[in-house]
């Protein structure tokens, strides 16, 4: 009886381990797929967004075009645009355009679906959404809004072939970043420590997005001896764990830089 009991306990332990391991790679859907579609687009587009970004957040739909596209406002924390390493209170104001969603996937144009501005912390956060929208929306130049709408074919028939689509899964979906081996990420850290002397390297590789062929993009920054951020980089890992690094020179208007980085490294193209 004792051996049978021990065997049973061992089987239970093995089952628990298997369930826990497989659970790490079984992301859940959002309870609210509409909010989920916003979050997935934001976290795959904006530098420095993490789970903390969505704790103190506003999403407000600004306008919908004749074909169902939504232009919406996002205000939340992002680690990418702060000046100081320990500054956790900085927020950004972003306007994004979503092409469509079917509650399973969100569709949007890669890289040029958003604009980012610094959020004015003097604006009262706890007010009516419409008033908040009117105040914050007025902070962005009309030309920027018009350019964003033109880049996203506003009021034209939706062309799904121009879109990328992402499954509407919660932020734990980014656990697939673990497919990039930890020792390879450490290798990048050590490389940058040598390259950036005498600056510090902030080893917070923030996962940005992936393509359909197992390429993964991260974002990271370096800081000086006073812990003010200095340089910013994007890092792309390939399926064989090789990688390329490129400096980003404008963390507020990086759409073109990011697009070129992807294009130069065959983003979303089959790997031979």
The confidence score (pLDDT) of residue 124 equals 82
Cis peptide before 116 (omega within 30 of 0): no
The confidence score (pLDDT) of residue 109 equals 96
**pLDDT for 182-226, tens place per residue?**
677 777 777 776 666 666 655 567 888 889 898 989 888 887 778
- Which is more confidently placed, 232 or 25? 232
**Is a pLDDT exceeding 50 seen at residue 18?**
no
The confidence score (pLDDT) of residue 171 equals 56
Specify the pTM: 0.81
pLDDT class for 131, splitting at 50, 70, 90?
Answer: confident
The confidence score (pLDDT) of residue 19 equals 37
């Amino acid at each position: 009886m004792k051996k049978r009991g021990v065997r049973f306990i061992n089987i239970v332990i093995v089952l628990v381990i298997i369930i826990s391991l497989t659970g790490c790679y079984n992301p859940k859907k959002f309870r609210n797929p509409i909010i989920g579609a916003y979050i997935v687009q934001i976290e795959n587009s904006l530098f420095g967004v993490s789970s903390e970004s969505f704790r103190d957040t506003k999403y407000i739909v600004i306008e919908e075009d004749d074909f169902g596209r939504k232009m919406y406002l996002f205000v939340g924390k992002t680690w990418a645009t702060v000046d100081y390493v320990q500054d956790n209170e900085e927020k950004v104001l972003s306007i994004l355009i979503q092409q469509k969603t079917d509650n399973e996937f969100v569709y949007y144009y890669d890289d040029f679906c958003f604009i980012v501005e610094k959020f004015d912390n003097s604006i009262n956060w706890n007010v009516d959404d419409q008033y908040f929208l009117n105040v914050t929306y007025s902070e962005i130049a009309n030309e920027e809004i018009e350019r964003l709408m033109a880049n996203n074919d506003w009021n034209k028939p939706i062309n799904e072939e121009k879109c990328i689509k992402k499954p509407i899964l919660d932020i734990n979906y980014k656990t697939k970043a673990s497919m990039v081996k930890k020792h390879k990420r450490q290798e990048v850290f050590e490389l940058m420590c040598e390259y950036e002397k005498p600056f510090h390297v902030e080893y917070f590789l923030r996962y940005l997005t992936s393509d359909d062929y197992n390429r993964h993009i991260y974002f990271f920054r370096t800081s000086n001896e006073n812990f003010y951020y200095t340089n910013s980089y994007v890092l792309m890992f390939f399926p064989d764990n090789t990688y390329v690094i490129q400096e980003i020179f404008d963390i507020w208007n990086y759409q073109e830089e990011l697009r070129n980085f992807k294009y130069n490294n065959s983003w979303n193209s089959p790997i031979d």
